[in-house]
Structures are given as C-alpha cells and as structure tokens.
Amino acid sequence: MTTPSTVRTLKQTIVRLRDEKATKCQIIHALTDGILVLKPNLTIKSINDQAKNLLIHSAEPNLKQHSLSLFKNKKGTVSFKLLPWLERVKQQAHKDDEHAEHQVLVWRIHPKTLETAPLLLKATALLSKNGQVKNLLLLIYDRTLHVQIDEQKRLMQVAFNSLNGQCITNEKGFITHPNPSFVQMSGLSTQTLIRMTFTQWFEQYVHFKSVSTVTSVLATLLKNKTWSGEVEINAQTTRFDALISLSMLVDDEYNVEHYMVSIQNITDIKAAQLQIQHMAFYDELTELPNRRFTTEHLQLALNRHQTQSTYGALLHINLERFKTINDAFGRKTGDLFLSQTALALQSTLGSNHTLTRVGGDEFAIICSLHSTTLAKAHSQAIQLSHTICDALNQPIEIAGLTLHSSARIGVACFPENATDSAENLLINADLAATKAKQLKNSYKIYAYDPTLSIEVKKHRILEDALNQALAQEQFELFYQAQMGAQDALHGVETLVRWNHPILGTVPPNTFIPIAEENREIIKIGLWILTKAFHQAWLWNKTHPNLNMSINISPIQFHEADFVKHLIDLLKMTHANPQNLTLELTEGVLISDTETALSKLEALSQLGFKISIDDFGTGYSSLSYLQKLPLHELKIDKSFIARIPESADDIAIVESIISLARHKKLTLVAEGVETQAQVNFLRQQPVDIIIQGYFFSQPCSASTFAAQFLTQLSPLDAPK
Ligand code: C2E
Ligand code: MG
Ligand code: MG
C-alpha cells in the first residue's frame, strides 16, 4: 500500500536520481575526451559533444551512416573500419577479463579541411550480471599533442646525436648532457665533462679568434641569447678549427634554464677555403703567386712606400725565345722549362722581394727596396736586374736537352707620384720590357720613362691607320735584286712599303708585327701575293728565268685556306710557280710541324720553292731540315754584317754553308753591303746568291726594271 511518506520518498528519490543524471550528463559533456556509449547492436545510446567533434563531425550521430574518415596510417592510405573493430571487441568480451580494454591509434582526416589528427580509441564491453554485453563504452582521446611531443623528441634525439658536438648544461652552466661527438671532440671523458661548467671548458681548451675573452662571449650571450664564432679547440691530443654556437634557454621571466653548446669541426672547410684561395692567387705550374696576387700586393707595397716615403721597384721579366722552345720541343718541355726558370729566379732573390708569374713566359718581382730616393731605388733595381739576367742566361737541362733562353727586363720604380696605381705600374714595367727587346746590349734591361706611353699611343695610331691602308691603296711593292755567279741577276725579293700621307713611309718591321697582331696581315698578305704574282708573270715574259721571292707571314701561312688561295692566284695571274720562292721563318716550320709539312709538300708539288728567311736566328733545332721539302736558306743579315771582322760570325756562316752543301740547298746571303763581304762569299766552295745594298737598294718596279731588266742576261734568254 502506498503511503504518503512512501510517495514522498519516491519523489525525492526520483528528483535525486534526475539530479545525479543531470550532473553526470554535465560531467560527461564537460570532459575533453570523447565518450560514446553504444548499445549491443552498436547504435549510439549516448555521446558527448567532444566525441561528436572528434569522430563524427555531425550533430546527428550514426556510426553506420557516416563515413568516418579514419585511417590506420598518417598518410591516410589504409582505412580503419570502426564498426568491425567494435564488433570484435564485443565478440571477445566473454573471453576477456571483466572490463578488459581494447585500444587502437588511428588517424582522422577532416573531410573538409583535410587536417590529420591522431585519435586513441579505447573500447570496453560492459557486461550485465548474467554475462551478456549490456553496452560498449568507447573513449576517444585526441593525441595530437602527444604525437607532436614524440616527434620533437625524435627530432631532438637525431639532432643531438649528429656529427656536431653538442652539450646541454643546467642553469648554473654545468655540463649535463654531452653528446658522443662532443665527448670525442673535447678529448675528455663524460665524467670529467659533467664536473665542469662550459665556461671552465672554454677557458681551458678553447682559443677564441675574433674576440679576446670568454667574458666578452658571455656578455654577448646574455644580451642576444646566442653567440657564434670561429675558435681553435685544443683537445687533449689534437688541435682543430671549429665553429662554436652558444645559446641560452630562458623562461618567461628571463631565468636561465639551460645553455646549449654546439661545435662544428671546420678543418675541412678551412682546408677547402685555403685551396680555393690558393687557386685564385697562385699559379698551378710554378706555384708562384699569379697576376691577381701581384696586383693586390703591389698596391699594398705602393701604399706602404707612399706612407713611409720610401721607394720600391717592379721588375717585369720576359723570357726570350720561350715560344720557340715550346714549339720545338712541346708543351711538356715548355712547362718544365718555366718551372726551372722560376726556381732559378727565386734563387737570385732575397726574402724582401716577391716573385710572381704574370703571364705565360712573364714573371714579375715586387722589390721592397726601402730606398730613400727614387734614384737609389732605380740603381738597386738595375743591379738586381743584372743578377737576374746573368742567372737566366745559364742554359737549363731538361730531359737530356740543353735549352738556352735569356731575359729582358722592364723596370718601373715607385711611387713616382700620388696617382700611381698597381695596374699602371704593371703596364709601365711591361712597356719597358717590350722596349728592352730592341736593345742591342747583352743585358736587355730598360727602365720605364713616360715617353714609352707615347710610343704606345703611336702604336694605337698606327693600328688605326693600318686598318684603312689597303682601302686607301697606300701599299706598294719594292724589289731588291739578288745576284748569282758572275754578278748576274738571279732573282728579286719583293719588299712591301706603306706610304702614309701623314706618317710617311712606315717600315715593314714596324707595321707587319701590328698587322699580325690584329690579323690584318691576312688581307695585306693576299694583296702582296696578287701583286707579286702579277709582276712575276709580266717580267717572266721577257726574263723567263727571273725568280721572285715573296715573304710570307706565319699568320698567313697558318691560315687553313693558304694553299687554296695560292692555287687560285696562279690561275688568275698565270704566274709560273717554278719562278716563285716563298720565304718563311724558322718559327713557322717548327710550330705545328705536321700541318706545316703537309702544306709545304702541297706547295712543292705545285712547283713553288721554299726558302728559310733569316736563317740562324731562330731556335737551332735543325731536325726539321730533315723532314721538310726545302730549297733555299737565307743567311741572316746580322751574321753578314760582322764579316769579315768577326771570327764567330765567319764560323757560323761557314757552318750554314756546309749544311746547305750537304743538303743541296741554294744559299742566299742578305744584307751584303761591302766589297769585303762579297769577296768572302765568292771565295766559298759553293755559289752563293748575294742580296744587299752593295748591288741594289730595294726600289719600285719601274726603277728595278730600268736598272736590271733592260738587257737580257745570258741566263734570261727566252726558253
Ligand atoms: P727580310 O725578308 O729579311 O728582308 C730583308 C730586309 O733587309 C729588308 O728590310 C731589306 O730592305 C733589308 N736589306 C736589304 N739589303 C740590306 C743591306 O744591305 N743592309 C741592311 N742593313 N738591310 C738590307 P725591309 O724591307 O725593311 O723589311 C724588313 C722585314 O720586313 C723583312 O725582312 C721581312 O721580314 C718583312 N717584310 C718585308 N716585306 C714583306 C712582305 O711583303 N711580307 C711580309 N710578310 N713581310 C715582309
Ligand atoms: Mg725576306
Ligand atoms: Mg731576312
């Protein structure tokens, strides 16, 4: 029977139960983790807001209807099926202990934002007293933070175990965690390290390069929370260059929590840097400083002398005949020759002079003379130049060869005025060395003076004028007679003349090198050949045996089309190649011998004769004489000039004569000016063709014809 008190008690119980249920509901919804209670058929009995957010993204939850976007992996390629998993939990409930938990980490990919989040799912089957599954409880934990922390830990571990030495200290600076690389680099044991502060370690084992003290490092660290710089670490057994990075970890109130020290061994980097620097400033072959180094150091020397009011000098050394050695014996020998020359030069110098290599066969010496006057610097530099010339005049032995060279030296003293610069000094010394080439003395040493710069300007003017000369018809061919036996006319050499309206007659020795430098000689040479072939054809009409010799520039000869041009010209002018001699110099024949040989053979086949001009002045490698199809040697006029006074020159001429006899070559002596020279040549056992002022000056075609071609000599009777 229901009494009022029973009703009241019941009502109170109902109210209490409702309150409790409401409180539980509130608690469940307030939880940051997701909670789902499922019925045995796996439909949702209750779910809190967090579970909706984490799992379902929907206000009307239904595990069956929603695609849950759950995956077994972070990449989202292997999907996770929640219901079958819960089904298995349910199935296993009887086998499990009471409240046994099943858990799995899955990845949820948000269907709209595609953000991934790791979720830990924990499922528990709730059983009734008779062992039936009453409900399934599914807890969902957001593991984003845990995963992030794990990732960071792994990252820290990898970083900490890197090849760089790293150590962490406590707030007092005591080393607490040295990584294996730090232990190894410090050369100390972990036990020793953890008994010291990092500053103690610095003081004992680290030498700071850019700053002087540990205190100043700490001051920067306190201010910026980081410091890094180059140091030298004196470990127990080794010393090495390192980069140290320091950082200070502080909390929000700027209390130090840790210091971190990181060391990177930069020995390799330093070595590579040095290597690069060496390559940029040093010459590989001779190991001497290069041109760049020269310019920089010269500028420093110049500044120093300017402030100290003292004087120094720059010597520019050019090797004579290096190109010939290179051409004749090959690059390898040339390289060895240069290295040996560098050594020979170095041995003549004291420590206050710097030897450098500024070009192929060009060296420079920056002399710190500390002279108090320019005149003293000048005389000291000239004296040093003499010593150098003496040293370089000595023959150098390389692989059984005895190679001779010599030096010409340009001297530029400094400072001369406030506007001096390293570049200008190098140019001036180079100019002086070029000028030294023209000296006839045994010491080819020339000191720069400002007139040289004027010469350079003149060179430029000539260069410009030369480019117009062909078009303006300023060239003319002159002819010089060559007399055979009984002083009968044998032939004629063509010699080009340049008549400039303002500059006057410019000699070929002046303009041909310029035309060769800018390759204008190719066009000029073709003009000369055309003119000479035509003249030869004209004169051969009345003097069919008259020979014409034509000078060929090496640049012209080395042109790929040279032979073809000659064939075309023969067709055009109808000249007879049997009456044409091509004069080449020794240098042409010994450089690129194979090509030269095939060209000469082709020319010989066509009927041309080949002569070596200025014979005896090139490199006396006579081996090429064996190989090449030659017809004539022209004894250089410098040997003829000192005959009959010079016994040496007589000996040279006699040996050329015997060589020509042996090889059955025609001999021409050029530069013959005196009766005594003619007598000497005529006494020789072979007929020598004589060319020189003694018989004729080079002259125009009409003068030559009037002088030599009016009467037919017996040799010239028409065939
Ligand atoms: P080279 O071919 O050895 O010519 C001989 C030089 O000696 C000529 O000088 C000539 O005038 C000069 N000479 C002739 N007889 C005497 C003498 O008795 N005593 C002295 N001291 N000299 C004498 P040139 O005409 O000034 O030519 C100089 C050089 O210029 C030539 O030397 C040759 O290498 C070059 N050259 C001249 N004409 C041409 C040319 O048409 N083409 C090329 N590529 N070079 C040329
Ligand atoms: Mg000649
Ligand atoms: Mg000559």
Q: Which residue has a Cα nearest atom 46 of ligand 1?
A: 551
Structure tokens that stand for 136 in this block: 């399934």
Exposed, middle or buried by CB within 10 Å (0-12, 13-18, 19+), for 138? buried
Mean pLDDT in residue range 300-319: 94
How does strand 632-635 pair with strand 609-615? parallel
Q: Does residue 611 carry a pLDDT above 90?
A: yes
Q: Using CA atoms, how far apart are residues 692 and 709, in angstroms rounded to an integer?
A: 18
Q: How far is CA 125 from CA 35, 41, 241, 319, in A?
A: 13, 12, 65, 101
Q: Which pLDDT value is given to residue 719?
A: 40
Q: Does residue 718 carry a pLDDT above 50?
A: no
Q: Using CA atoms, how far apart are residues 31 and 48, in angstroms rounded to an integer?
A: 8
Q: What angle do CA 8, 11, 15 make, to 5 degrees?
A: 140
Q: Using CA atoms, how far apart are residues 440 and 450, in angstroms rounded to an integer?
A: 21
The residue with tokens 């010393």 is 239
The Å distance, Cα 571 to ligand 3 centre, comes to 29
321 C-beta neighbours (distance < 10 Å), count = 17
Q: Does residue 59 carry a pLDDT above 70?
A: no
The residue with tokens 């929907």 is 58
pLDDT category at 62 given cuts 50, 70, 90 is: low
The Å distance, Cα 657 to ligand 3 centre, comes to 16
Mean pLDDT in residue range 469-489: 95
The residue with tokens 């967090």 is 50
Q: Using CA atoms, how far apart are residues 467 and 364, in angstroms rounded to an integer?
A: 34
Q: Which pLDDT value is given to residue 247?
A: 93
Q: Does residue 587 carry a pLDDT above 80?
A: no
Looking at per-residue pLDDT, the higher value among 636 and 53 belongs to 636
635-680, pLDDT tens digit by residue?
999 999 999 999 989 999 999 999 899 889 999 999 999 999 999 9
Q: Which pLDDT value is given to residue 469?
A: 96
Per DSSP, helices labelled H in 161-253 are 180-186, 190-193, 198-205, 214-224
Query: Which atom of ligand 1 is found nearest the CA of 698?
Result: 11
Q: How far is CA 486 from CA 10, 508, 539, 655, in A?
A: 164, 31, 21, 24
Q: Which pLDDT value is given to residue 347?
A: 93
Asked whether 59 and 44 are in contact (CB, 8 A), the reply is no
Q: Does residue 618 carry a pLDDT above 90?
A: no
Pocket test for ligand 1, best of 514, 551, 556, 699 (most atoms within 8 A of CB): 551
The residue with tokens 């020794």 is 586
209-266, pLDDT tens digit by residue?
876 688 888 898 988 999 988 899 998 788 999 999 999 998 888 888 999 999 999 9
* φ, ψ dihedrals at 309, nearest 5°: 55, 45
The residue with tokens 């794990």 is 150
Pocket test for ligand 1, best of 637, 642, 643, 694 (most atoms within 8 A of CB): 637
Residues having CB closer than 6 A to ligand 1 are: 480, 494-496, 507-509, 512, 525, 528, 551-553, 583, 613-614, 637, 670-673, 692-693, 698
Q: Which pLDDT value is given to residue 255?
A: 87
Q: Using CA atoms, how far apart are residues 42 and 35, in angstroms rounded to an integer?
A: 14
Strand partners, 138: 36, 123
Read off the pTM: 0.52
The Å distance, Cα 638 to ligand 3 centre, comes to 9
Per DSSP, helices labelled H in 558-670 are 562-573, 586-590, 593-606, 623-627, 637-641, 647-663
Residues 6+ apart with CB under 8 A from 588: 552, 554, 557, 558, 596
Structure tokens that stand for 264 in this block: 């990177």
Asked whether 697 and 480 are in contact (CB, 8 A), the reply is yes
Looking at per-residue pLDDT, the higher value among 547 and 155 belongs to 547
Mean pLDDT in residue range 631-638: 94
Q: Does residue 163 carry a pLDDT above 90?
A: no
Q: Which residue has a Cα nearest atom 15 of ligand 1?
A: 692
Q: Which pLDDT value is given to residue 277?
A: 82
371-392, pLDDT tens digit by residue?
899 999 999 999 999 999 999 9
Shortest-distance ligand to the CA of residue 475: 1
Q: What is the mean pLDDT of the chain?
A: 88
Strand partners, 260: 168, 247
pLDDT category at 434 given cuts 50, 70, 90 is: confident
Q: Which pLDDT value is given to residue 584?
A: 93
Closest alpha carbon to 461 in 469, 470, 450, 473: 469
Q: Using CA atoms, how far apart are residues 368 and 314, in angstroms rounded to an integer?
A: 9
The Å distance, Cα 152 to ligand 2 centre, comes to 87
pLDDT category at 622 given cuts 50, 70, 90 is: low
Closest alpha carbon to 547 in 600, 503, 490, 586: 490
Query: Which atom of ligand 1 is found nearest the CA of 672?
Result: 18
Q: Using CA atoms, how far apart are residues 619 and 494, in angstroms rounded to an integer?
A: 25
pLDDT category at 57 given cuts 50, 70, 90 is: low
* CA-based radius of gyration for the chain: 49
Q: Does residue 43 carry a pLDDT above 90?
A: no
Q: Which pLDDT value is given to residue 717?
A: 46
Q: Which pLDDT value is given to residue 597?
A: 87
The residue with tokens 């610069």 is 421
The residue with tokens 């062992």 is 131
Closest alpha carbon to 35 in 141, 143, 139: 139
pLDDT category at 21 given cuts 50, 70, 90 is: confident
* φ, ψ dihedrals at 712, nearest 5°: -80, 130
Asked whether 33 and 141 are in contact (CB, 8 A), the reply is yes
Where is average pLDDT lowest: 145-159, 246-260, 301-315, 605-619? 145-159
519-570, pLDDT tens digit by residue?
899 999 999 999 999 999 999 999 999 999 999 999 899 998 999 999 999 9
Angle between helices 322-329 and 331-348 (to 10 degrees): 140
The Å distance, Cα 716 to ligand 1 centre, comes to 26
Q: Does residue 1 carry a pLDDT above 60?
A: no
Exposed, middle or buried by CB within 10 Å (0-12, 13-18, 19+), for 300? exposed
Q: Which pLDDT value is given to residue 2?
A: 60
Asked whether 582 and 600 are in contact (CB, 8 A), the reply is no
pLDDT category at 697 given cuts 50, 70, 90 is: very high
Structure tokens that stand for 192 in this block: 């020793």
Q: Does residue 139 carry a pLDDT above 50?
A: yes
Q: Using CA atoms, how far apart are residues 156 and 150, in angstroms rounded to an integer?
A: 10
Q: Which pLDDT value is given to residue 164?
A: 87
Q: Is the dihedral of CA 150, 156, 161, 166 positive or negative?
A: negative
Query: Which atom of ligand 1 is found nearest the CA of 636?
Result: 3
Q: Using CA atoms, how far apart are residues 152 and 160, in angstroms rounded to an integer?
A: 12
* φ, ψ dihedrals at 216, nearest 5°: -70, -30
pLDDT category at 42 given cuts 50, 70, 90 is: confident
Looking at per-residue pLDDT, the higher value among 694 and 714 belongs to 694
